Amino acid sequence: MKENVLLQSVAKLDPRYLAKNNLVMLMVEIGFAIVLTTALFPLIPAEFIRRGSSFYLQLAIILIATVWFATFSEAVAEYQAKARVDFLRTLEREVLARKMVDGKEVIVKSSMLKPGDEVTVYSGEIIPVDGLVSKGVAFVDQSMITGESNPVVKEKNGHVMGGTRVATDKLVIEITAEAGKSFLDQMVGLIESATRPKTKNEIALMTLLSGLSVIFITVVGSLLFFAHFLGYDVDIAMLIALLVALLPTTIGGLLPAIGVAGITRLGKDNIIAKSGKGIEAAGDCDVLVLDKTGTITEGCRGAIQFIPMQNYTEGDVGQAAYAGSIHDNTHEGKSIIALAEEKGFIPPLVEKMLVAKQIEFSAETRFSGIEFVARKRARVEKSVPTVAETGASKVAKMLLDLDKADKEIRILKGSIDAMLKMVKDVNEAELRFKAQEISLNQGTPLIIAINKEVIGLVFLKDSLKKNIREKINEIKATGITTVMITGDNSVTAQVIAKEANIDQSIAEAVPADKLKKVEEEQSKGHVVGMVGDGTNDAPALAKADIGLAMNSGTAAAKEAANMIDLDSDPSKILHVVKLGKQKLMTRGAITTFSITNDIAKYFTILPAIFVNDSPIFAALNVMQLSTETAVLSTLIFNAIVIPLLIPLALKGIKFASESPQRTFIKNMLIYGIGGTILPFIAIKGIDVLLSALV
């Protein structure tokens, strides 16, 4: 690390680099060149050179050290980003793989594997390349890539990543990625391509700093001739020292590091920022558009109750729900099966249901289930007693009667609005009353129907994510308006929004509503953030100022967004906004400290320069500094304050959920007053030390 950072920091001393990236430090470097030239080749008229060459050499060393400390801070920040890439590359090491050839294992190098090849990976071995599980069930340790502390279960058709380790059992994996196109390759590519162009706020700040620098150059240049005209002793090196002391070198030296640190800190949380613009925008974000499922809630709705309609029992609904979910491998479907089995609600004809035609859920239909023709009575397993066997289940009798009559059986489950368009035999008033009760209890109602007759409802509940209310409250405290968009009904949306303390909720939304909301808020002058993972989210992600795409999402979504979450956790948008706010708070604090520092340094160095020529300046020299030590002490403090603040620039000041006005006042009290007092104490201390050494 030391060698890389030092070499990079020295390379950044190139005036061409500074001219393009840091004008303030370029001016300091020009001052260094003038002072060094004066020390070695005294070409300037004698009346402007009042000190010995040794003083000029000391001054030159301090000036170039000031510039180097600034480039060093930037190099440290960039090294942290590069370190993540280097770590990921260590996971791309060549490993031996057990390729299956004619049913036998053949040892080959991972680089020789191609899509379609099958490999066997045993417990403790590294998965060579990305692929899909074709056989076996095992726990896979993904911590080195995703940061997940616990191994995750991988079974048939489950995606596995090269570089991860099989923790238990064994897996047969079909390779899906070509060489150089694995998940790791994509991560490395994203990080390496993540650039940090200057944002509007950063450009505005640099313009201000450059403008102040030009003013200071003009003032100091004029002072040279006015002082000479008035008969004061004027030294070119002293005036350069005064100029450097006045320049906002602290913020100028740390600004690049603050920007790079934003991308690096997101990278540690497995979020890839394609540029610094998104992080910067997050700091100014005042409207946050959030999806409900998976962002505000856990995203795993589970069945907790079967609610019958008037003519049916809980057992009837449980049996029909079991049948309608028999091919549903989602968490929702599995929870319905589990609840029905727990209560003993197993329907007849299970064997036929297992081979029945599956009706898959789609965004257009919003229902799923099974469809089959019962022509032969299926044998019911005696080891699993059912309500049907007791003769108490109306649904069981209905299914068996349809079986005898060789009639089609269609069992569906779906949303209220979608199912009401299809069913005929239903008491709609009773249905909507019971559905509203479910919604008022933060649940989602699901209709269960057999051949267009409604049997009852399933009560699904999706709990709020842990600490989500606290996170949203922190965001709202900074002045951000939160908006939740969901496809659920309005009652459920309102309950969840109230529980999570969301400002606005948009219910029964279609994908296009996200883009519409983003455009609507931007037209009002707001800075908008949002998350998404689908192709239909791509327009809104591209339009939003902060677009966070899930790595598990489509290529279109990831291309459109300016950030990608490798863990595919939508709630991380809250972390991005907090980091953006923290970045602005850090920059504001250091800017405040830098400017107040300059004011203090002005009152330490200017009186000392003219202390022997004017009673007025002698009176202002309250710290009793001698000319040479005052200049050296001021510039030493000016230089060392940059590396001392590097940890603050990289880590950032602590985020506080408070209004911008309160943050401004706190910055002024801590960094403003502190930045004014500290230079006087530090410069006097350095002056005493230098005087003792001399």
Pairing mode, strands 357-359 and 367-373: antiparallel
Handedness of CA 635, 638, 642, 645 (dihedral sign): positive
Among 567, 527, 562, 535, smallest CA distance to 547 is for 562
Residue 453: how many CB atoms within 10 A of its CB?
16
Residues 81, 148: Cα–Cα separation, whole Å: 21
Burial of residue 134, with CB atoms counted within 10 A of its CB: 0-12 exposed, 13-18 middle, 19 or more buried: middle
DSSP 153: E
Residues 120, 127: Cα–Cα separation, whole Å: 9
Pairing mode, strands 504-506 and 481-485: parallel
Handedness of CA 314, 317, 320, 326 (dihedral sign): negative
Residues 347, 411: Cα–Cα separation, whole Å: 12
Q: Are 86 and 92 in contact (CB under 8 A)?
A: no
Q: Are 505 and 486 in contact (CB under 8 A)?
A: yes
Q: Are 331 and 385 in contact (CB under 8 A)?
A: no
Helix, strand or coil, per DSSP, at residue 365: coil
What is the DSSP secondary-structure string of 586-640? HHHHHHHHHHHHHHHHHHHHHHHHTTTT-HHHHHH-TT---HHHHHHHHHHHHHH
188's CB contacts (< 8 A; 6+ apart) are 85, 88, 89, 92
Strands (E), 167-301: 170-175, 271-273, 287-291
Helix, strand or coil, per DSSP, at residue 157: coil
Sole residue written with tokens 């040279």: 224
Residues 277, 283: Cα–Cα separation, whole Å: 10
Helix, strand or coil, per DSSP, at residue 376: coil
249-285 residues labelled b (16+ CB within 10 A) or e (exposed):
bbbbbbbbbbbbbbbbbbbeebbbbbbbbbbbbbbbb
608-631 residues labelled b (16+ CB within 10 A) or e (exposed):
bbbbeeeeebeebbebebbbbbbb
Residues 544, 3: Cα–Cα separation, whole Å: 41
Rounded to 10°, the helix 572-609/627-644 angle is 170
Sole residue written with tokens 């709990």: 463
- 291 as an active site residue: the answer is yes
Reading the block at residue 115, the tokens are 């899509």
Catalytic residue among 284, 291, 488, 537: 291
Reading the block at residue 523, the tokens are 């037209």
- Give me the amino acid identity at 137: V
495's CB contacts (< 8 A; 6+ apart) are 439, 440, 441, 442
- By annotation, the residues acting in catalysis are 291
